[in-house]
Amino acid sequence: MNALRAYLERDFRVAWSYRSSFFMQYLAMPFSLVGPRFLADLVGPREALAQYGGDYFAFALVGAALQVAMYPCVTVFRGAVREAQVMGTFEAILMTRTRAELAVLYSGVYQLLQASLQPVVIIPLVGLALGAQFAWSQAPAALGVLALVLVGFSGIGLCSAAFTIAFKQSEPFTVGMLSVSTLLSGILFPIDLLPEVLQWVALLLPLTHAAEALRGAFLLGADVTNMGWHLAAVGAFALLLPIGLIAVAASIEVARRRGALAQY
């Protein structure tokens, strides 16, 4: 825990040294949510939205929260690794008493905590101010689902960092995965509007089940027992975190054997 605290303190000091950027990232978010509010007025009640409470604005806010949460998870670890490689500090970081894979994990924790303020605090409060209807009684269940999503996508992010350690460049797969998930997982519209074959593809994506579970809790007031297999799928997705840690440890060992840790 001392190592994690040291990483958090370091990253906070770096972020705080750029105060304009520190505050602007939170001030900009409310303005980005005004557009969906007017789009909801244009769309109006739709049959496809009936199962989600009928309010497109609330529907879109849940999707926005997931989208905002997942992007840092899959990018911060490889970004931290690549920055350390280019600056020549990566090998020095791995020489500390902290286990190598945990050092990579800790390097992204601050940014994940910082990014989580937007889906957990800013988006719900702005949505409430703009007239969205939420079932606040199931907020703890919704937070639990969101936490599992963060854990699962962090596992993907660690696998991406492992690729960067091994090959000294960012892998090309997560960009495509994010694009497909955004299109097919019900982030912007219900998956019922997709062609039937794409609906089956959507059911294979963990983000689809996360969106369904979150909307069930936050829009309809469904408790954990009513989330069914959506919650089970999100829970299984969280197992990617230990897989990601194993991948990072393996890639570091391979780089050590090649004598390539100091290369960039």
Tell me the whole-structure pTM to 2 decimals. 0.85
Domain residue extents for the chain: 2-258
Beta-strand (E) ranges in the chain?
none
Question: How do the pLDDT tens digits run along the chain, 264 residues long?
Answer: 677 888 788 877 877 787 777 677 667 666 667 777 777 766 666 677 778 777 888 888 888 888 888 888 888 898 888 888 788 777 777 787 888 888 888 888 888 888 787 777 777 777 777 777 777 777 787 888 888 888 988 999 999 988 888 887 777 778 788 888 888 888 888 888 888 899 899 988 888 888 888 888 888 877 767 777 888 888 888 899 999 999 999 988 887 887 766 666
Cβ-based neighbours of 180, under 8 Å, separated by 6 or more: 205
In one letter, which amino acid is 29? M
Distance CA 208, CA 181 (A): 8
